[in-house]
């Protein structure tokens, strides 16, 4: 990666004294990995970091004026993802455990940014399980209850689509976890004017 006199910042959950070394290791692992979890506007790859399987999300380089606003006025998407994950977990909601984030700035502009979290194994997205023709009534009820719980705690995802909800089984019980969480908005209380921004019932992905 070629960056002109970049300023590095960020944080990892563990080994904070080795921050720059961790970033270098992540970047090298990300570059070499061919295990693509998702490609598109942002790129997600599976890598091995400190003996564990992780997902590295490389956010698209923002264009003007977002590159300045993220650099000077607002938190980057990577930083938001990191702190939103910790806050969700404290509230008792599942999301792949955050490992760290880091970002490069140059001349006040945000350049590259990365978010690292645990790799979620043996899960499917709600999009993969949802059947618009013959919906699973139990799944519908459980997901509706989950949505109410989120909103009762003031969590508004703002990109609440079926691909951003992971579903797993734990001791026969279905569990939901949120991903792509950088756009979450936090409220003390959520009313109907807020809820319209979240799609409580998944729509067709077609």
DSSP string for residues in 111-174: EEEEEEEE---S-EEHHHH--SSS--HHHHHHHHHHHHHHHHTTEE-SS--GGGEEEEEETTEE
pLDDT(198) > 70? no
Q: What is the mean pLDDT of residues 62-85?
A: 81
d(CA 130, CA 23): 38
Instruction: Provide, rounded to the nearest whole percent, the portion of the chain with pLDDT above 90.
Output: 66
The 8-class DSSP code of residue 42 comes to S
What pLDDT does 112 receive?
92
More confident residue, 53 or 190: 53
Given 3-state DSSP classes, what are the helix, strand and coil percentages for the chain, each rounded to the nearest 5? Answer: 30, 30, 40
Q: Could you read off the pLDDT of 163-175 as tens digits, one per residue?
A: 999 999 888 899 9
Confidence of residue 33 (pLDDT cuts 50, 70, 90): very high
Q: Per-residue pLDDT averaged across 16-33, rounded?
A: 92
**How high is the pLDDT of residue 134?**
85
pLDDT, position 194: 59
Confidence check: pLDDT of 190 > 80: no
Q: Residue 2 above 50 pLDDT?
A: no
Q: Which pLDDT belongs to residue 74? A: 79
> Would the pLDDT of 1 be above 50?
no
Of the listed ranges 47-51, 66-70, 118-122, the least confidently predicted one is 66-70
**What is the spatial order of strands in the sheet that 7-12 belongs to?**
7-12, 98-106, 109-118, 52-58, 43-49, 36-38
Q: What confidence score (pLDDT) does residue 69 get? A: 66
Residue 162: pLDDT over 60 = yes
* Beta pairing class for 185-186 and 155-156: antiparallel
Q: Is the pTM of this model over 0.85?
A: yes
């Amino acid at each position: 990666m070629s960056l002109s006199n970049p300023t590095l910042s960020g944080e990892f959950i563990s080994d904070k004294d080795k921050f720059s070394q961790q970033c270098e290791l992540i970047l090298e692992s990300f570059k070499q990995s061919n295990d693509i979890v998702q490609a598109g506007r942002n790129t997600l790859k599976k890598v091995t970091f400190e003996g564990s399987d992780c997902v590295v999300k490389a956010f698209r380089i923002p264009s003007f004026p977002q590159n300045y606003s993220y650099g000077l006025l607002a938190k980057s998407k990577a930083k938001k993802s990191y702190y939103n994950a910790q806050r969700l977990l404290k509230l008792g909601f599942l999301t792949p455990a955050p490992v760290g984030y880091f970002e490069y700035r140059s001349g006040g502009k945000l350049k590259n940014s990365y978010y690292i979290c645990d790799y979620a194994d043996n899960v499917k997205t709600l999009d993969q399980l949802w059947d618009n023709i013959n919906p699973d009534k139990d799944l519908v009820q459980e997901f509706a209850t989950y949505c109410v719980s989120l909103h009762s705690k003031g969590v508004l995802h703002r990109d609440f689509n079926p691909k951003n909800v992971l579903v797993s089984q734990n001791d026969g019980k279905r569990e939901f976890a949120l991903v792509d969480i950088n756009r979450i908005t936090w409220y003390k209380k959520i009313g109907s004017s807020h809820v319209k921004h979240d799609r409580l019932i998944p729509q067709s992905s077609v």
